[in-house]
Each structure stands twice: as C-alpha cells, then as structure tokens.
Amino acid sequence: MSLVLAVDDDRQLLRALRITLRAAGHDVLTAEDGRSALRTAAAQHPDVVVLDLGLPDLDGTEVLGELRPWFAGPVLVLSARTDSRDKVDALDAGADDYVTKPFDMGELLARLRALVRRATAEPDEPMVRTEHFTVDLAARQVTVDGRAVRLTPTEWALLCELVRAPGRLVGQRQLLQAVWGPAYEKETNYLRVYMAQLRRKLEPEPASPRYLHTEPGMGYRFTP
C-alpha cells in the first residue's frame, strides 16, 4: 500500500489515525506540528499526506505552501473549521481534498483510496471517458454519445481544469484564476453561468448533474 504521513496535534486522534491506517494496509509516519511534518516529509518521502489545518506552530495552509514546490503527492486536509473560506484557502494552497472534523474513519479511508488511485493511475492517452461523453484533451474535442459537441474556448478551458482533476474538489478561486486570470478571482457568477452551459451540453439531465458537481461556496468536482 502507501506510505502515509499523518499530521495532527491531537495525540488521541493521531493514534487513532495510525491504528486505522495500518489496519488498512498502509505504512504510517506521524507528526504533531508543521515543522516536524515538513522535516519528516523531506526525509521519508511519503506517498500521501493527511494534514490537520490547526497546528500549534504553523497553519496547515503554510505547511501546504512549503510542501507543494517539491511534493507532488496527494494531500488530504483535516479541518475542524466551519468557515468554507478556510477550506477554499486550503484547496487553493494545494490540498487535493478535505474531510471536516469530526469525521468517520470509513469516509477518510475512502477519500484516501480515491486520492491514491488518481495519483498512481495516470492515463497513457489524454482521454477522459464517461458513460455519456468523452473529452480528448490532445485533440481538444468533446463527443456526446459519439457526436462532436462544440464548446466555446472558455467552456473548454473550464472543462479541462475539472477533468484533469477527477474526483477532486477544485476551488472557485483556482478555477477563476486558471480560466479568466487573477483579476477575476472574485467573479463567482462567471462559474455559475459557464457551468450551467457545460451541463446543458454534456449532462444527460442538466438539472440533476451526474458528472459536474457543485460544492456550494467552495468549488466544483468532476466525477467520472
């Protein structure tokens, strides 16, 4: 399985994480603060990091900021914070997914399995397939039930950002910066308009999306 670095200042929770992850077949490293986490990650090269946001020395987003220039593996954030802005900030800083405390260990393991699958199963061909539509990233073409569908350049750019991160929540700010640029990072209405257009073109039932999901106040998720 994977080598997991679990980072949390709650020793009881850290012990529970260690036991649960080992029972699931993972090797486990632990750290109780941000600096220790960074040192352990640099020395041991974990496959995935489970990171609490509320650490005693560094905020979790700071740890992410120092990890991301050199750590390419998935990061699953744990958060006791109820403000969606904190979660969005973590996603923008480089988190791949989050679980809100208190959480079910079964859910955490499921999220972890999904992250590890995506990290280790890069497709040879730049092709994303669902039951209803196919996205050919190399040819810049989308087909629905075998028929080519025309997307505007903005629709295409938005779809690409999502399908390149299957299953992962992509933050609103990240999408706005990637598609429209830094000056538009607060224009969330753009996302609502263009997501509605994409759903009309790609979803079998646009009012009940199967593939292009909204996480209210936070971002969007493509589920193949």
Instruction: Give me the domain span that covers residue 9.
Output: 3-120
pLDDT in single tens digits along all 224 residues of the chain: 789 999 999 999 999 999 999 999 999 999 999 999 999 999 998 999 999 999 999 998 899 888 877 787 889 999 887 676 777 778 777 788 888 888 899 989 988 887 787 666 554 457 899 999 999 988 889 999 889 998 888 889 899 989 988 888 888 888 888 888 777 778 888 899 999 999 999 999 999 999 999 998 889 999 98
Of the candidates 51, 85, 120, which is a domain's last residue? 120
* CATH code assigned at 182: 1.10.10.10
Q: Given its phi and psi angles, is residue 145 left (phi above 0), alpha (psi -120 to 50 degrees) or beta?
A: left
* CATH code assigned at 83: 3.40.50.2300
204 shares a domain with 109: no
Q: Is the separation of the CB atoms in 211 and 224 below 8 Å? A: yes
Of the candidates 120, 135, 158, which is a domain's last residue? 120
Structurally, the chain folds into a number of domains equal to 2
Of the candidates 120, 151, 184, which is a domain's last residue? 120
In this structure, which long-range contacts are made by residues 140-143, counting pairs with CB atoms below 8 Å and at least 24 apart in sequence? 142/201, 142/202
97 shares a domain with 159: no
pTM equals: 0.59
157 shares a domain with 94: no
DSSP SS3 for 89: helix
142 shares a domain with 78: no
